[in-house]
A = this chain, B = another copy of it.
């Protein structure tokens, strides 16, 4: 096992009614002016935004707001947020929403705390030296951005979707009330569950010998999300199931399931990022659609690992060899995806890229031939093209 670092300083306040503490928590940050950042009208309609404004006012916190974040959050709104924060001398950002809103808040935070173009960080041209402090009121269990060090932004100029990770953007606090996720549409709930599972699966699949402690946590986390995803398809207002999924979402991406794993694979995520950039699909759904194709393509590089996954996570019996066991696990996972109405191919999402688009996806994903992705098997541009094609 490899050396590792673990750093998850976000204070989590979890449970029913915890959003009422938002004013007090923001107040404790000793800031002068807050940007309340959010997405669509749903947090307005539900009354959540008004309750948050009220809580801030009760604590005498000065604030402005900026809504309009969309899934696959856009760089143009980030620029607008940076301008606004500078003009209004904002020194704290409160993200009210899911991963897209939090990621947008992080990007704005980088932009305010650093000179120059914020997109440089996402292009890996230079490293951010700081970030405005961020707080979160989470309304979607999925991305894990509330405890993670990462942020993914889409640049409309070329529809490039790029991620950037830096510990300085980790949220100071995250308020997580599972009740706030009860009104999510079924599709979004399922997509979130896949995203959560994949954050752990990306770390689980790699070329190193993991810590057994981490492997068992990961296996239990994935099983727990699967069990509760199925419950939520039938009982969307099951509080316990919402809580299991919400907490799993944070632990899946705060670093815990990566301890002693040498980082993990992440090829599925990179492949999906380009799909999201080009076709604007729900992230979790896009991951489900490419995962089987990826898994079959790289399987022979770690059949033992895929076989363990098949037995311990998917509950499969062993086949005549590791490959057969592994394939059973992949099929069982696809069966699970279908059971929660998630796609297992691009056509399941009604996306039908032509040859030119397939090549364009692979080209973008390989940064025009300048990088490989994955560690189970290092994937070149041609491999990416093949995985996209097999996922049709």
Chain A residues with a Cβ under 8 A of chain B: 1-9, 11-18, 209, 211-213, 216-217, 220-221, 223-224, 227, 240, 243-244, 247-248, 251, 256, 259-260
A220/B224 in contact, CB under 8 A = no
Partner of A3 from B5, B7, B9, B15 at Cβ < 8 Å: B15
Distance in angstroms from A69 CB to nearest chain B CB is 26
A-B contact pairs, 7 of them (CB 8 A): A1-B243, A3-B13, A3-B15, A6-B12, A14-B260, A213-B248, A256-B256
Q: Looking across the interface, which residue of chain B has its beta carbon closest to that of A174?
A: B6
In the A-B complex, the 5 residue pairs with the closest CB atoms: A3-B15, A9-B9, A216-B220, A6-B12, A7-B11
Complex contacts, A217 vs chain B, CB 8 Å: 217, 220
Complex contacts, A8 vs chain B, CB 8 Å: 8-9
Assuming A1-B240, A3-B16, is B260 touching A247 (CB within 8 A)? yes
Complex contacts, A17 vs chain B, CB 8 Å: 3
Rounded to whole angstroms, the CA-CA distance of A256 and B6 in the bound complex is 14
Q: Looking across the interface, which residue of chain B has its beta carbon closest to that of A245?
A: B213
Interface of A (DSSP majority class): mixed
A244/B213 in contact, CB under 8 A = yes
Assuming A224-B213, A247-B260, is B4 touching A15 (CB within 8 A)? yes
Q: Looking across the interface, which residue of chain B has its beta carbon closest to that of A247?
A: B213
Complex contacts, A5 vs chain B, CB 8 Å: 11-14
B224/A216 in contact, CB under 8 A = yes
Partner of A259 from B14, B223, B260 at Cβ < 8 Å: B14
Distance in angstroms from A391 CB to nearest chain B CB is 31
Distance in angstroms from A250 CB to nearest chain B CB is 9
Q: Looking across the interface, which residue of chain B has its beta carbon closest to that of A224?
A: B213
Complex contacts, A209 vs chain B, CB 8 Å: 240
Rounded to whole angstroms, the CA-CA distance of A216 and B221 in the bound complex is 8
Complex contacts, A240 vs chain B, CB 8 Å: 1, 209
Rounded to whole angstroms, the CA-CA distance of A244 and B2 in the bound complex is 12
A6/B2 in contact, CB under 8 A = no
Assuming A5-B13, A18-B3, is B259 touching A247 (CB within 8 A)? yes
Rounded to whole angstroms, the CA-CA distance of A244 and B9 in the bound complex is 22
Rounded to whole angstroms, the CA-CA distance of A7 and B28 in the bound complex is 15
Partner of A244 from B7, B12, B211, B223 at Cβ < 8 Å: B211
Assuming A8-B8, A217-B217, is B14 touching A243 (CB within 8 A)? no
Complex contacts, A16 vs chain B, CB 8 Å: 3
Rounded to whole angstroms, the CA-CA distance of A2 and B240 in the bound complex is 10
B15/A211 in contact, CB under 8 A = no
Complex contacts, A221 vs chain B, CB 8 Å: 213
Distance in angstroms from A52 CB to nearest chain B CB is 18
Rounded to whole angstroms, the CA-CA distance of A211 and B176 in the bound complex is 15
Complex contacts, A216 vs chain B, CB 8 Å: 220, 223-224
B15/A212 in contact, CB under 8 A = no
B1/A12 in contact, CB under 8 A = no
Complex contacts, A12 vs chain B, CB 8 Å: 4-7
Q: Looking across the interface, which residue of chain B has its beta carbon closest to that of A250?
A: B6
* Beyond known contacts A3-B13, A213-B224: 16 more, CB 8 A cutoff: A1-B240, A2-B15, A3-B15, A3-B16, A3-B17, A4-B14, A4-B15, A5-B12, A6-B12, A9-B9, A14-B259, A211-B247, A212-B227, A216-B223, A216-B224, A247-B259
